[in-house]
Homo-oligomer: A and B are copies of this chain.
Amino acid sequence: MRNVNIGIIGFGTVGAGVVECLLRNGALIAERTGILPVIARVADLDITSDRGVVPPAGSLTTDVSEVLDNPEIDVVVELVGGTGVAKQFVLRALANGKPVVTANKALLAGHGAEIFAAADKSTADVYYEASVGGGIPCIKALREGLVANQLQEIVGILNGTCNYILTRMEEELADFGQVLAEAQAAGYAEADPSFDVDGIDTAHKATILASLAYGKWFGMDPFHVEGIRAVTLQDIEYAAELGYRIKLLAIVKETGGAVQMRVHPALIPVRSLLGHVAGVFNAVWVRGDTVGQTMYYGRGAGREATASAVVADIVDVARNLKSDSHWRVPAFRPHNGFRRVVPMGEITTRYYVRLQALDRPGVLALVTGILGEHRISIASVTQKETNQPSVPMVILTHQAAEHEMQAALRRIGELAEIGAPPVCFRIEDLD
C-alpha cells in the first residue's frame, strides 16, 4: 500500500465534496488501487465555517505554503477557482515539482499554455478532468479511450445552468427571465448569471476539448460565442412543433484540418440522444473516424459530481507516483491535427429563421427572394394563423453559408413588411 498525501487549496463547495468523498470512500479506493489517499492539508482563508464535513485533525490551515512548500505533500489540488491567486498557486506547485489536480476551466482556457509550459519544465503532472463535464470522465475518454481516432466532431451540452433554464422553459412554458429568476432563487444560477447564460463558461470548457482533440492550445480567441438570452419561449415552442429542441451547444468540427469552434444555442432533433439531456445534466457527444458516434453523460457540476472527477485525477497522479510514470499521459501535447480555424462566416449549417411579417400579399415572395439571392434553399415554411396585424413565419433552410445568411437577415430586417428584427438559430442534425 502506498500513501499519497493530498494538499487541498480551497475549502469551498468542491473542496468540501472532495474531503467528504475521500473520507467516505478512501478505504475502498485503497483496496481498488493499492493507494491510500491521505488528506494531509486543507488550506483556506476561512477555516471556521461549517461545510458539513470535518477534515482530519490538524489538516486545516490558513497558510497556503503548508500545501505548496511542504515536502510531505505529494499532490496539490487547486480548487480556488478564478485566474488570480489560483494561477500563482498552480505555478508555484509545479515549480516545487508537485503534481497538480485542478477543476479550473477558466484558468486553463485563459492561461493553459503558460501552465503547461511550467509543467513541462517541472515534469510534474497536471490533471484536469473536473474542468469539463463535472463528474463525467470525458477528458479521459477523449485522450485515452478514443486515442485511436481522428476526432471529427464534438458537440457538448457543457453548462448545467443553461440546460436547466432551457429545460424549464420548455417544460413549464415559461419565459427566460422568469425561469432565470427561479433558478437564481433555487441556487442553480448565480446572482450575476452572465458567465453562464452568455456562453462564456461553455466556451472555456469547449476550448479545452478542442485543444485536446486537435493538438493546439487554442484559448478563447478562436471561439464564436453566443449565449441563451435570445432564446424565447415562442422559439422553443415552434422548434418543438418541428421536431427540435433548443440547447446551448459547444460545437467543434474538423474537416481536413480546418476546425470550426463555436458556442451558440441551436436546434437539435428531439429524437437525438443529446436532445434528451435535460436539466442540470451535461453530455459530450463525440464522432471519431474509427469509433463512430459516442456520448458521455452525467452531472456537469456540483459538490459531489465534481469531487468524483477530482478524486479520480488524484488517483491517476498517485498511480503515476507509485509507478514513477509521471507524464505517462502528458498534461497537454501539441500535435498536427490542426491546420486553421474556420472563420464563423465561412461555416455552413442549416438555419431556423423566425420572422414577424405583416399580413400582406407578397411578403413571403420578398423574403424567399432574398434568401434565394443568397443561395439559401428553403426546407420548410410555416406561417402561423393569428388575429394580429403581423404573423409569425418560421423558415427552416437547407445547408447555407453563414455569411450569406447574415447578409440575407440584414436585408430581410430592413423590409418594411417585417415588423421586428428576424430571429435566427442554427440547426445541428447530429448525423
Q: Which A residues form the contact surface with B (CB < 8 A)?
A: 17, 21, 24-25, 28-29, 31-34, 129, 135-137, 140-141, 143-150, 215, 271, 273, 276-277, 281, 288-299, 304-305, 307-309, 311-312, 315-316, 319-320, 322-330, 333, 335-337
Query: With the chains together, A326 CA to B325 CA distance in Å?
Result: 10
Distance in Å from the Cβ of A356 to the closest Cβ of chain B? Answer: 34
Chain B neighbourhood of A305, CB < 8 A: 290-292
Query: With the chains together, A311 CA to B147 CA distance in Å?
Result: 8
Chain B neighbourhood of A330, CB < 8 A: 34
Known contacts A33-B147, A145-B312, A271-B276; 15 additional CB pairs below 8 A are A25-B289, A28-B336, A29-B147, A32-B333, A135-B288, A137-B146, A141-B296, A144-B312, A291-B304, A294-B296, A294-B297, A295-B296, A319-B328, A323-B324, A323-B325
Nearest 4 A/B pairs, CB to CB: A137-B145, A323-B325, A31-B335, A148-B311
Contact partner, A149, options B136, B290, B308, Cβ 8 Å: B308
13 contacting pairs across A/B (C-beta < 8 A): A24-B150, A25-B290, A32-B143, A34-B330, A34-B333, A135-B291, A137-B146, A140-B144, A141-B145, A291-B309, A292-B304, A296-B297, A323-B328
Nearest opposing residue in chain B for A275, CB measure: B276
- Tallying the copies of this chain within the complex gives 2
Known: A288-B308, A290-B21, A290-B305. A140 touches B149 (CB 8 A): no
Chain B neighbourhood of A295, CB < 8 A: 295-298
Known: A273-B277, A294-B298, A299-B293. A312 touches B146 (CB 8 A): yes
Chain B neighbourhood of A335, CB < 8 A: 28, 31-32
Nearest opposing residue in chain B for A30, CB measure: B335
Distance in Å from the Cβ of A277 to the closest Cβ of chain B? Answer: 7
Judge whether A297 and B273 touch: CB under 8 Å. Answer: yes
Judge whether A294 and B25 touch: CB under 8 Å. Answer: no
Distance in Å from the Cβ of A270 to the closest Cβ of chain B? Answer: 10
Chain B neighbourhood of A319, CB < 8 A: 325, 328-329
Chain B neighbourhood of A34, CB < 8 A: 330, 333
Judge whether A28 and B337 touch: CB under 8 Å. Answer: yes
Judge whether A148 and B315 touch: CB under 8 Å. Answer: yes
Chain B neighbourhood of A288, CB < 8 A: 135, 308
Distance in Å from the Cβ of A243 to the closest Cβ of chain B? Answer: 14
